[in-house]
């Protein structure tokens, strides 16, 4: 059972890394400063970054150790999310591409505390 779960997790990380690479390429094509770096050819980790202008930066890290979303403005951390919340926020960013929102119009959805 654990070997199967480990393989599923590995595949999930690889799929996420491939999607981050594609998102960076599309965002660059739309005029955003975006990048996605991976180590090696196994796609087991990635560092994705995009600038939304006005010193507004998004960093998304994925590896076997975890997933984090960090949002910064003027070199100050505004929000840091992990796991499923980080991936949900990534979907909000992907909507920039889907709905062709301009960088200055992007306003992230801040999760509400319980």
Phi, psi of 37 (to 5 degrees): -110, 140
Please tell me the predicted confidence (pLDDT) of residue 40.
81
- Residue 113 DSSP symbol: P
In the predicted model, what is the mean pLDDT of residues 53-60?
Answer: 92
In the three-class reduction of DSSP (H, G, I as helix; E, B as strand; rest coil), residue 114 is classed as coil
Q: Dihedral of the CA atoms 58, 17, 11, 89 (nearest 10)?
A: 20
Average pLDDT over residues 56-80: 94
Q: Name the token pair of 24.
A: 């960076």
Percent of the chain clearing pLDDT 70 (strictly above): 88
Structure tokens belonging to residue 68: 């984090």
> What's the whole-number mean pLDDT along residues 35-57?
92
Residue with tokens 């594609």: 22
User: Is the pLDDT score of 62 beyond 60?
Assistant: yes
What's the confidence (pLDDT) of residue 103? 55
């Amino acid at each position: 059972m654990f070997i199967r779960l480990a393989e599923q997790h590995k595949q999930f990380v690889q799929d996420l890394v491939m999607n981050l690479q594609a998102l960076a390429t599309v965002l660059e094509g739309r005029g955003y400063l975006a990048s996605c770096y991976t180590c090696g050819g196994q796609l087991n980790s990635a560092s994705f970054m995009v600038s939304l202008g006005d010193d507004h930066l998004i960093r998304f890290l994925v590896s076997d150790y975890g997933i984090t979303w960090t949002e910064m403005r003027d070199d100050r951390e505004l929000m840091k999310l992990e796991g499923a919340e980080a991936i949900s926020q990534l979907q909000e960013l992907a909507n920039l591409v889907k709905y062709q929102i301009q960088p200055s119009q992007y306003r992230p959805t801040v999760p509400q505390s319980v």
